Amino acid sequence: MTYLLMNPLANNSKGEEDARKWAADNGVDCEFRSLLDIKDMKAFFDGLAPEDEVVLTGGDGTVNRFANDVYGYEFKNPLWYVKCGSGNDFWRDSEKYAKDGRIDLRPFLKNLPLITVKGIQRRFLNGIGYGLDGETCRVGDLQRLNSDKPVNYSAIAIKLLLGGYKLNKATVTVDGETAKYENVWLASTMKGRFYGGGLMVAPDQDRFDEEGLVSVVTLYKKSRLGTLMRFPSLNKGEHVLKKDWVTVKRGRNVTVSFEEPCALQIDGDVVEDVLTYTVEIGV
């Protein structure tokens, strides 16, 4: 039996429609299960027969929640992932491992970094967006609550760049080495290369790095117009070439603090009014 786990809320509440379309297009005879109805994910996998396999559909938020629900579990059954979201940064980063339009998810659920923020502890697959990206996600969530129209994150980011986002001061500590920055736009910690629907924030990051290291990317520049003109370079990861604008550090233990509170996103999920966060690997 093939079980297809779907998130009805994914892709602007088109998750079930997309999942059923994928199954029909690929001739997969399966039993559909909503992730919202499974209270204990590990117990679900414990109850599978040896010949069963599972396909997970959804976007970055779906994969993040699933990863946290099953973290540490030893899978005995095949587990596949099919993209079905609005951002799909995990898929974008990992598509090279795909076969027949799906990825064996099991290797990606190991050795995930742990973020601690405002008493919350979560594993993440893509990255932590703190600053402009967190604020963009926060505003996008508000728009989604008040409208059925798709959220235009690029338009939100441009408005914030032009005046809505307040530049911050940041203290960034990576493996005991501390640096201070002014006029900070973002201070992100990355397991993968992408977030924000295709921004290649950490182009040299390898999620299968032997040491499991994460990349800490700090973007800073006083000029709003200058930042706006350079911002498209994030789409190809070329921003890291501009040494007067960005610093990239790699490490195992990270602490980032802002002088003023700001929103933060964990694989797309927003935490508001954050002053500091920490990331650890190997825990």
218 and 89 assigned to the same domain: no
77 and 135 assigned to the same domain: no
How far apart are the two ends of the chain, measured CA to CA in Å? 35
* Cβ–Cβ < 8 Å for 263, 137: yes
Out of 74, 109, 144, a domain closes at 109
CATH number of the domain bearing residue 88: 3.40.50.10330
Q: What is the pLDDT of residues 62-110, one digit of tens each?
A: 999 999 999 999 999 999 999 887 778 999 999 999 998 899 999 999 9
132 and 149 assigned to the same domain: yes
Distance CA 167, CA 182 (A): 8
Residue 235 structural domain: 114-280
Q: Is the pTM of this model over 0.95?
A: no
Those residues whose C-beta lies under 8 Å from the C-beta of residue 245, and which sit 6 or more positions away, are: 219, 220, 221, 227, 230, 239
Q: Would you give the DSSP letter of residue 146?
A: H
Out of 76, 109, 142, a domain closes at 109
Q: What is the pLDDT of residues 147-195, one digit of tens each?
A: 878 788 888 999 999 998 999 999 999 999 999 999 999 999 999 999 9
130 and 269 assigned to the same domain: yes
7 and 86 assigned to the same domain: yes
31 and 87 assigned to the same domain: yes
Q: How many domains does the chain have?
A: 2
- Rounded to whole angstroms, the maximal C-alpha distance in the chain is 59
CATH number of the domain bearing residue 244: 2.60.200.40
